[in-house]
Amino acid sequence: MVPPMFWAILHVLACAHEVEQKHEAYEESHASVIKSQLLRWAATWEESAEARDVVLQHIREQMAAVSFDVASTYASWAAELPNSAGNYAVAAAVSESVAFLPDCIAELKTKSELQTRCPQKMLKIAIQKLFSMDDAEGATRVWMLARRLYRGSTRMFPEMLPEEEAAIPWPSAVQSSTVWVRGLREKPFWDCYQAWPFVRTLEAHAARILSEATDVAPKLTRAYPYLFTQGSWQNLFLFRGRTWNADICHIMPRTCQLLMPEIPTKPGLPTVVPNNEEIVLFRSMDGAYVGPHSGAVNNQINIHLTLKGSRGAFLNVAGDRHELKPGKAMCFQDSYLHSLEHKCDKNSDDCNERLSLVVRVLHPDFDAHSVHGYAATEAEGALEAFSESAALRAELSRLREQYRKLSDRPEEPGEESCKAPLPTDADLQNAHEVFAFLSQEFHGWAPSEEPIDAIVVLSNWYDRMSKVRKVLEIAASARNVPIVVVGGRGRLSSIRAAELDGEAHATLARLLVLLEVPGELGTLGTNRVVAISCNECPTPELRAKCGCVGNTGFNADRFLEWAATFLPPLPHRPRRVVIVEESYLVRRVTATVLGRLSGMTSPRHVHNHSTMQVSIVNAREVSDALDQLLQVHEPMPSAMMQLMADEVARLENYSSQTAGSPQLFSEVMFLGDVQAVTSETQATIAEGPYAAFRRVRRLGKELSARYAAPMEKVARDRRLFWKCVAPRDSEGVATWTVPEAPGEAWRFWRKPNDGES
């Protein structure tokens, strides 16, 4: 027999379930009523300009008539309405009305300034919505209202208060974060490298990060739908709420390895809001527009590293619009109003998808003094419970755990040392013979036929300082001629070139310094120097890819184009140009420039052999230059052997169109009577020079057979290539320690048959 108590309990449970169902039905019905009302207001506002003031007045009356909980529900739903002018206007009016309700404004007294307070949050939403509908005047009006609230009370003054007296001390309408930390410097953009040195490492590894980001891209989900008005905007968090996403780090191991030692940036300090420090991957597609918004607090900076698809993507911070650049970071203060526009040109094929890594870090000025005297923060709660020593111990434990994981990680195949056979005495003897052949200078006029009209450097990394010294030597005796430096990012680019958008600017930076150093004849004018590099390419697409400079042919073309305007042909004599080149590249540069002047490439240049004479001189003394370069390649001296063998192959390929290469010059331009070539008479190749080339070609093939395999092996890993093959920077700058090669250098060795334009 069932006891009576059982039936009593069953009846009580049934009644409770019925009450719960009725409550849920009421809540659903209540929410439906609120949503419908918001949409009616928005529709009326959009349909009739005359009715707008009436709508806004009705909103204010409705918010005052309902309970604070209901008014807050109105504000929550309004903030997430679809993006349209009417919805913006309604959301702004609802939020502004709720901000001044007694229960809302009371939080100015009951909560710490470092917590989310109702009036500040509501007025921020109102300002953001007004900016979204291009009503800057309305946004400024709301900001001025906020600045009339007195600190530590619910009083509102008739005029704006000074920041130190204001309860909401926003300095302007474009800085309206939910929480405001006093005493921090305010500026829209920050120097990434000075404040956060690890940004250079992220930029150097941008290609690797992009590769990992591409792998994880299918996991991206829709980001902040209430912020973007059109297109697709997605995100994925690697680090959030002081926690690393282990699943994502498994797919993006190198990215996480680079950032785990850096984040959090200030582990001994309490955080103000939960998203104070985060790492997030963003993706937008062509047509996306993320409306104006500001971050949760002013004590955080966004490090925005663009990985791909930057063309057509613009970041607007406080009205300052910047186009994003691939592989480059932009750092801006999150509290400033910012927006993103992604719109491709019709003919662009590298714009449709943008991927960016955003690392949110603490403001450089944020310290223990910033939170002193406050009872609580939004993220930590009561600060009396926060322990700096406990936070540091937790961070130490985290770092130890990461180091344990690193020590347990098996060695990657690409992380072995730069293993390659050391050059034997016989190899070195043959290498000297090849080197001497390749380093042969060319003089297009007799020394008595001065003056010269220009000094030119077709830049590559070999060797920046040697070239600069040679240029200064020539410039001292030709004091008024222009110095033209041309170069981009090629197969042996330096990190310095990547930082300055091309080897020409890296060489220029060193040259300008030394030109000002007094010599026997005093200083040399710096205004005579011209740099032609990535930034000087004619179109945005070429500038982004550095696609008009970088190899010898491109660099020669850019100089000849410059000369057509600034060194036009003379009626009485040819122009005379001295080109300073790296030792073993001299012979091929000679042939390439002569080929251009002979009209062997398209388009033809204004100058030809009758209007311009060239001399290509060596930046080094040939007698000990090979020994110097072997030292430059100390981690893997055999790389020098393969580089010389490659130069010999290029002479053959570019003169005979073998291996699918374009014909850039003829054999006679590096073997025959070059004086006859320049005078445009019949030129032949004597047996002696041709026999010498046959021998050098054979020696080059022998060197390649012995040393090509180690070169190809290290080319499988970009970090290993950089460590083993890239020449040591003669300037001794710290960037030499960056463990990854520029993408152009790596791609050359991954595709060694690529032709030169």
Q: Which helix (H) or strand (E) holds 628?
A: helix 622-632
Q: Say whether both 84 and 134 belong to one domain.
A: yes
Q: Is the pTM of this model over 0.95?
A: no
Q: Which of 149, 176, 203 is the last residue of a domain?
A: 176
pLDDT at 444 over 90: no
pLDDT at 363 over 70: yes
**Full DSSP string of 117-136:** -HHHHHHHHHHHHHHHTT-H
Tell me what pLDDT residue 626 has.
Answer: 83
Residues 17-48 have pLDDT tens digits of 555 554 444 455 567 888 889 999 999 988 87
Tell me what pLDDT residue 126 has.
Answer: 96
What gap in Å lies between CA 364 and CA 361, rounded to an integer?
Answer: 9
Query: Which tokens hold the place of 205?
Result: 């590894």
Tell me what pLDDT residue 566 has.
Answer: 93
User: 445-474 in b/e burial notation, b at 16+ Cβ within 10 A?
Assistant: beeeeeebbbbbbbbbbbbbebbbebbbee
Tell me what pLDDT residue 167 has.
Answer: 96
Lowest mean pLDDT among 230-239, 252-261, 493-502, 673-682: 493-502
Q: Say whether both 326 and 278 belong to one domain.
A: yes
Tell me what pLDDT residue 725 has.
Answer: 77
Tell me what pLDDT residue 408 has.
Answer: 57
* CATH number for position 311: 2.60.120.330
Lowest mean pLDDT among 57-71, 143-157, 224-238, 406-420: 406-420
Taking the alpha carbons of 256, 257, 262, 263 in that order, is the dihedral positive or negative? Answer: positive
pLDDT at 4 over 70: no
Work out the percent of the chain whose per-residue pLDDT is above 70.
Answer: 79
Whether 128 is covered by a domain: the verdict is: yes
User: Cα(first)–Cα(last) distance of the chain, in Å?
Assistant: 97
Tell me what pLDDT residue 413 has.
Answer: 45
The CA–CA distances, whole Å, from 22 to 9, 73, 261 equal 20, 19, 53
Most confident among 96-105, 334-343, 455-464, 736-745 (mean pLDDT): 96-105
Tell me what pLDDT residue 461 has.
Answer: 56
Average per-residue pLDDT in the chain? 82
Query: Which tokens hold the place of 120?
Result: 């500040």
Over residues 631-641, mean pLDDT:
82
Q: Say whether both 281 and 163 belong to one domain.
A: no
pLDDT at 121 over 80: yes
Lowest mean pLDDT among 222-236, 506-520, 582-596: 506-520
Q: Say whether both 564 and 645 belong to one domain.
A: yes
Nearest to 183 by CA among 334, 364, 376, 337: 364
- Please tell me which residue, 130 or 422, carries the higher pLDDT value: 130
Over residues 329-339, mean pLDDT:
95
Most confident among 403-407, 453-457, 551-555, 703-707 (mean pLDDT): 453-457
Range of the domain at 67: 28-176
Over residues 231-235, mean pLDDT:
79
Tell me what pLDDT residue 754 has.
Answer: 40
Q: Which helix (H) or strand (E) holds 354?
A: strand 353-362
Most confident among 12-21, 294-303, 680-689 (mean pLDDT): 294-303
Q: Say whether both 68 and 118 belong to one domain.
A: yes
Tell me what pLDDT residue 285 has.
Answer: 85
pLDDT at 714 over 90: no
Whether 658 is covered by a domain: the verdict is: yes
What gap in Å lies between CA 73 and CA 55, rounded to an integer?
Answer: 19
Q: Say whether both 113 and 256 belong to one domain.
A: no
Q: Say whether both 322 and 458 belong to one domain.
A: no
pLDDT at 224 over 80: no
Taking the alpha carbons of 407, 411, 417, 418 in that order, is the dihedral positive or negative? Answer: negative
- Please tell me which residue, 395 or 134, carries the higher pLDDT value: 134
Whether 374 is covered by a domain: the verdict is: no
Whether 23 is covered by a domain: the verdict is: no
Task: Report the number of distinct structural domains present in the chain.
Answer: 3
Residues in CB range of 125: below 8 A, 6 or more apart = 75, 79, 91, 92, 95
Over residues 407-412, mean pLDDT:
52
Whether 561 is covered by a domain: the verdict is: yes
Tell me what pLDDT residue 208 has.
Answer: 86
What gap in Å lies between CA 145 and CA 49, rounded to an integer?
Answer: 25
Residues 176-211 have pLDDT tens digits of 999 999 999 999 999 998 889 899 889 888 888 998
Whether 458 is covered by a domain: the verdict is: yes
Tell me what pLDDT residue 499 has.
Answer: 58
Name the pLDDT band for 401 (thresholds 50, 70, 90).
confident
Q: Which of 345, 364, 383 is the last residue of a domain?
A: 364
What gap in Å lies between CA 265 and CA 410, rounded to an integer?
Answer: 28
pLDDT at 591 over 80: yes
What gap in Å lies between CA 78 and CA 172, rounded to an integer?
Answer: 24
Whether 308 is covered by a domain: the verdict is: yes
Tell me what pLDDT residue 185 has.
Answer: 95
Q: Say whether both 236 and 320 belong to one domain.
A: yes
Q: Say whether both 172 and 214 belong to one domain.
A: no
Residues 473-486 have pLDDT tens digits of 888 888 788 999 88
Residue indicated by tokens 């990992």 = 212
Q: Say whether both 153 and 301 belong to one domain.
A: no
Residues 461-474 have pLDDT tens digits of 555 677 888 888 88
Q: Which of 129, 152, 176 is the last residue of a domain?
A: 176
What pairs with residue 321 in β-bridges?
A: 316
Taking the alpha carbons of 564, 565, 567, 572 in that order, is the dihedral positive or negative? Answer: positive
Residues 653-704 have pLDDT tens digits of 888 876 667 888 988 888 867 666 666 666 677 778 888 999 999 999 999 8
Name the pLDDT band for 748 (thresholds 50, 70, 90).
very low
pLDDT at 75 over 90: yes
Work out the percent of the chain whose per-residue pLDDT is above 90.
Answer: 42
Over residues 530-543, mean pLDDT:
78
Rounded to 5 degrees, φ, ψ at 4 are -60, -35
Taking the alpha carbons of 516, 521, 525, 530 in that order, is the dihedral positive or negative? Answer: negative
Name the pLDDT band for 753 (thresholds 50, 70, 90).
very low
Whether 756 is covered by a domain: the verdict is: no
- Please tell me which residue, 99 or 538, carries the higher pLDDT value: 99
Over residues 438-444, mean pLDDT:
90
Nearest to 312 by CA among 326, 302, 297: 326
Tell me what pLDDT residue 311 has.
Answer: 79
Over residues 613-624, mean pLDDT:
86
Q: Say whether both 172 and 194 belong to one domain.
A: no
Q: Say whether both 358 and 242 belong to one domain.
A: yes
Tell me what pLDDT residue 637 has.
Answer: 84
pLDDT at 717 over 70: no
